[in-house]
């Protein structure tokens, strides 16, 4: 089954991939449980289906859950396929589809409904066209999916690259923006920064050459040379690939010099992973 690391490349493929609510649900289940079902309460791995809408009951503790629990799809009366198509239109359109466009394209009978969906999705998907980050922002990129133990580097082949911008605040981290990018080239990274960060803000990155142009395009650029092993390098959200980070995955240098990114590594939740996985390629 197709899961979190695969995305349709265009609308035709999208229609092929998701012909029914069932295929959408299977996709969400593969994203949520890439290694098979895990009970969120007791970590049991066996379940039986309760209904045909994806509700499952843990054999061990009888807790009931579904791949859509806790997501924007939870408890929806609309079909999952309609949600998926809406997501596709919202993210694939370069300048974003309007509520009126959505109402027209998907045949919503009420404008209000289209508007509500649009805004719910935009919130859930951390749209880059929202308000710009400002102040001090840490930017880094991470790899999602592929073989966790494969070769690292900025041109990782099978992995998807996600670039992240985190606002640093005195009491922790502020707003976060994420984007799936084609590669870690200067073009991809700087375009992302320009889209999500206010001009004149201070951007802190590591010494990767992809960030070298930031100064030229109107940002204060702080380069932090962080000593970290190759194994650690750019694994921003290590639990995306399985386990939650453990303390010894961080070195002191990293935490002290890049506090916002480090705390993001600690705190980013499953829902952020899933958001990342549902982002289309830019
Ligand atoms: Zn259980």
Where exactly are the structural domains of the chain? 11-124, 136-278
- The answer, yes or no, to whether residue 98 has pLDDT greater than 70, is yes
- The answer, yes or no, to whether residue 95 has pLDDT greater than 80, is no
H helix runs in the chain, sequence order: 11-17, 21-32, 80-92, 99-106, 111-124, 186-196, 252-257, 259-267, 270-278
Distance from Cα 266 to the centre of ligand 1, integer Å? 25
Overall fold of domain 136-278: Nucleotidyltransferase; domain 5 (3.30.420)
Confidence of residue 230 (pLDDT cuts 50, 70, 90): very low
Whole-number pLDDT of residue 264: 52
Distance from Cα 46 to the centre of ligand 1, integer Å? 8
Q: Record the pTM.
A: 0.45
Distance from Cα 68 to the centre of ligand 1, integer Å? 17
Distance from Cα 125 to the centre of ligand 1, integer Å? 29
Candidates 198, 212, 160, 180; CA nearest to 92 is 180
Distance from Cα 44 to the centre of ligand 1, integer Å? 5
Q: What is the pLDDT of residues 8-51, one digit of tens each?
A: 777 888 889 889 999 988 888 887 787 889 888 888 999 999 98
């Amino acid at each position: 089954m197709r899961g979190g690391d695969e995305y349709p490349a265009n609308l035709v493929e999208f229609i092929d991939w998701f012909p029914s609510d069932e295929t959408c649900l299977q996709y969400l289940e593969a994203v949520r449980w890439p290694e098979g079902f895990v009970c969120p309460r007791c970590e049991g791995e066996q379940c039986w289906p309760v209904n045909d809408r994806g509700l499952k009951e843990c054999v061990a503790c009888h807790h009931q859950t579904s791949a859509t629990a806790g997501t924007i799809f939870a408890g929806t009366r609309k079909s999952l396929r309609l949600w998926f198509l809406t997501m596709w239109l919202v993210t694939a359109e370069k300048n974003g589809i309007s509520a009126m466009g959505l109402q027209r394209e998907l045949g919503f009978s009420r404008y209000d409904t289209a508007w509500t969906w649009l805004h719910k999705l935009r919130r859930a998907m951390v749209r880059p066209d929202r308000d710009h980050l400002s102040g001090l922002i840490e930017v880094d990129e991470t790899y999602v999916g592929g073989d966790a133990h494969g070769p690292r580097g900025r041109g990782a082949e099978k992995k998807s690259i996600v670039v992240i911008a985190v606002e640093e605040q005195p009491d922790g981290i502020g707003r976060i923006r994420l984007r799936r990018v084609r590669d870690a080239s200067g073009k991809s990274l700087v375009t992302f920064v320009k889209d999500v960060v206010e001009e004149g803000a201070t951007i802190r990155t590591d010494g990767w050459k992809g960030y070298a142009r930031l100064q030229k395009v109107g940002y204060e650029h702080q380069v932090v040379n962080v000593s970290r092993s190759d194994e650690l390098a750019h694994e921003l959200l290590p639990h995306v690939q399985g386990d939650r980070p453990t303390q010894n995955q961080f070195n002191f240098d990293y935490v002290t010099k890049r506090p916002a990114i480090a705390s993001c590594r600690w705190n980013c939740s499953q829902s952020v992973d899933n958001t990342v996985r549902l982002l289309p390629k830019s």
